[in-house]
């Protein structure tokens, strides 16, 4: 079934493209939401991503999952948006007071709440956090992809976690 759908998309069959979009768009929108600061930006990245999917689907070699292949395209589109942002945006970071090194038991939050918190992170922190936590990349890969040092990647991840932890603690008065 999936191979027929892919072949239809490779033949530029509109019905197959529509089915593929309907099948994967909801999951890919969640991916895009994690990298952007608003639903509108996420939807824009999603549309750009699917344009690339349909343009490049002939390159899909059936060697992994289609969903994983599409996800990688969406992440790359989102990262292009991050890179396109002014470098000044990366430097307007809030100063964080030190958080004690002890472990906190954080209250459970919904996926929607987590995405909203991630969207509030500065663009580079958001990108590093998502690539590390959700995409499972190592700092060396992230550094290469974002054209930053490995140390900067580690620092951005640490700061992103601190911001998220502080925000959740403040919201829930832990």
CA dihedral of 98, 135, 110, 114, whole degrees rounded to 10: 40
Shared domain for 152 and 97, answered yes or no, is: yes
Domain boundary among 84, 104, 130: 84
Mean per-residue pLDDT over the chain, rounded:
84
Q: Do both 137 and 80 map to the same domain?
A: no
- For 100-126, b/e burial (b = at least 16 CB within 10 A) is eeeeeeeeeeeeeeebeebbebbbbbb
Q: Across residues 68-91, what is the average pLDDT? A: 77
Alpha-helix residue ranges (DSSP H) falling in the chain = 2-10, 14-35, 39-56, 66-84, 87-91, 111-119, 123-133, 139-146, 150-172
Same domain, 131 and 166: yes
Higher pLDDT, 6 or 106: 6
What is the span of the domain harbouring residue 11? 2-84
**Residue after which a domain boundary falls, among 53, 84, 115:** 84
pLDDT class of 85 with cuts at 50, 70, 90: low
pLDDT at 104: 40
Last residue in a domain, options 24, 53, 84: 84
pLDDT digits 0-9 by tens, 21-77: 999 999 999 999 999 988 999 999 999 999 999 999 999 988 889 999 999 999 999
The answer on 16 and 32 residing in a single domain is yes
Are 80 and 91 in the same domain?
no
Which one is predicted more confidently, 77 or 92?
A: 77
Percentage, residues of the chain above pLDDT 90: 62
Say if residue 23 is in the same domain as residue 96: no
For residues 103, 107, 112 and 118, what is the CA-based torsion angle, rounded to 10 degrees?
A: -30
Task: Check: CB of residue 135 under 8 Å from CB of residue 74.
Answer: no
Q: 140 in the Ramachandran plot: left (φ > 0), alpha (ψ -120 to 50) or beta?
A: alpha
Average pLDDT over residues 153-161: 94
Q: What is the CATH number of the domain that holds 97?
A: 1.10.10.10
């Amino acid at each position: 079934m999936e191979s027929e759908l892919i072949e239809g998309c490779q033949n530029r069959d509109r019905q197959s493209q529509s089915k593929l979009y309907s099948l994967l768009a909801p999951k890919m929108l969640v991916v895009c939401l994690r990298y952007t600061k608003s639903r509108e930006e996420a939807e824009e990245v999603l549309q750009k991503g699917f344009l690339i999917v349909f343009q490049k689907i002939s390159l899909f070699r059936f060697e992994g999952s289609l969903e994983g292949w599409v996800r990688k395209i969406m992440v790359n589109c989102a990262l292009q948006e991050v890179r396109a942002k002014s470098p000044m945006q990366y430097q307007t970071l809030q100063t964080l007071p030190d958080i004690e090194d002890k472990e906190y038991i954080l209250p459970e939050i919904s996926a929607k709440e987590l995405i909203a918190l991630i969207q509030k992170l500065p663009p580079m922190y958001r990108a590093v956090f998502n690539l590390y936590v959700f995409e499972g990349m190592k700092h060396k890969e992230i550094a290469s992809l974002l054209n930053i040092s490995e140390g900067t990647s580690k620092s951005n991840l640490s700061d992103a976690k601190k911001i998220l932890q502080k925000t959740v603690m403040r919201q829930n008065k832990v």
